[in-house]
Structure 1
Amino acid sequence: MPNAAALAALEKEIADVRENIRDLTEQAAAYSGAEDDALSADRIAEQEALLARLQKERDALAR
């Protein structure tokens, strides 16, 4: 039986990361300039990698 508290915590963290990605995407659309674009892309990529890791962790815990 998966640990319900751990799954709930992961779900919350996943939701938070998704919200961060949405916020960063909106910010990137508002900024202009190559330097801003690169920084935004890096931040979004970091959050997407974190999201993927958390989803794998959640899936493994749910088994």
Structure 2
Amino acid sequence: MSGPKDFSEINGRIAVVREEIRIVTEQAAAETGGAVEERLSERIAELEAELAELLKQRDDKA
């Protein structure tokens, strides 16, 4: 069974990842060029996968 600390840590990590996604999305909107767009798109995909895993962990602990 997990305690409030576990939820707090996961929720904190979720908030950080969401903020990173927001920042990278803004960068992607401002940048042009194939290589830059591809790199930012890959980073967004990585962050979204990390977010999905964190949300799953949180749901599993509920």
Deviates more, 1:26-35 or 1:1-10: 1-10
RMSD: 0.9
Question: Unpaired runs of 5+ in structure 1?
Answer: none
CA displacement 1:4-59 (0-9 Å, x = unmatched): 10000000000000000000000011111000010000000000000000000000
Question: Unpaired runs of 5+ in structure 2?
Answer: none
Identity %: 45
* 1:24 equivalent in structure 2: 24
Residue 47 of structure 2 is aligned to residue 47 of structure 1: yes
Tell me the matched-pair count. 62
TM-score by length of 2: 0.95
TM-score by length of 1: 0.94
